[in-house]
Structure 1
Amino acid sequence: MPSEASGDRKRSLHETIRSDIEGSIVSGAWQPGSQIPFEQDLAARYGCSRMTVNKVLTELSRAGLIERRRKAGSFVRRPSSQSAVLKIVDVRREVEALGLPYHFEILRRAVRPAIKADQPLLAVSAGTPVLDITCRHFAARRPFCLEDRLINLSAVPEVADEGFATLSPGAFLVSRIPWSTAEHRIRASAADAAAAEVLLVAPGSPCLVVERRTFDQDRPITHVRLVYPGDGHEMVARFAPTGG
Structure 2
Amino acid sequence: MNSVADLTLHKRIRSDISERILSGAWPPGHRIPYEHELMAEYGCSRMTVNKALAPLAEAGLIERRRKFGTFVARPKIHSAVLDIPDIPTEVTGRGEVYDYELLFQRVRTATLREMEELGLDRSAQVLVLRSLHRAAGRPFALEERLINLETVPEAADVDFGATAPGSWLLSHVPWTEAEHRISAANVPRAVATALGIELMAACLVLERRTWRSADRITHVRLTFPGEAYDLVARFAPQGGLSAS
TM-score by length of 1: 0.66
2:230 alignment counterpart? 234
Give 1 or 2 for the bigger CA radius of gyration: 1
In the superposition, relative to structure 1, how do residues 215 and 81 fare at CA in structure 2: closer, same or farther (>3 Å)? closer
1:101 alignment counterpart? 97
2:208 equivalent to 1:212 = yes
Give, in whole Å, the separation in 1 of the partners of 2:156 and 2:97: 29
In the superposition, relative to structure 1, how do residues 81 and 190 fare at CA in structure 2: closer, same or farther (>3 Å)? closer
Superposed counterparts of 1:86-125, under 5 Å: 86-125=82-121
2:178 equivalent to 1:162 = no
CA contact (8 A) 2:101 2:161 kept: no
Partner SS, residue 129 of structure 2: strand
CA contact (8 A) 1:114 1:125 kept: no
Of the three residues 177, 200, 203, the one matched with 2:199 is 203
Give, in whole Å, the separation in 2 of the partners of 1:81 and 1:207: 23
Tell me the amino acid that sits aligned with residue 227 of structure 1: T
TM-score by length of 2: 0.66
Partner SS, residue 232 of structure 1: coil
2:175 equivalent to 1:179 = yes
Identity of aligned residues (%): 43
Partner SS, residue 91 of structure 2: helix
Partner SS, residue 231 of structure 1: coil
- Can you give the 5+ residue segments of structure 2 that lack an aligned partner in the other structure? 8-52, 61-75, 240-244
Partner SS, residue 234 of structure 2: coil
* Deviation readout 1:190-218 (Å, 9 max, x if unpaired): 12111100000001111000000111111
Give, in whole Å, the separation in 2 of the partners of 1:81 and 1:141: 30
1:3 alignment counterpart? none
Give, in whole Å, the separation in 2 of the partners of 1:135 and 1:81: 23
CA contact (8 A) 2:79 2:179 kept: no
- Can you give the 5+ residue segments of structure 1 that lack an aligned partner in the other structure? 1-6, 12-58, 67-79
Give, in whole Å, the separation in 2 of the partners of 1:237 and 1:109: 34
Matched length: 183
Cα RMSD (Å): 3.2
- Residue range with higher mean Cα deviation, 210-219 or 121-130: 121-130
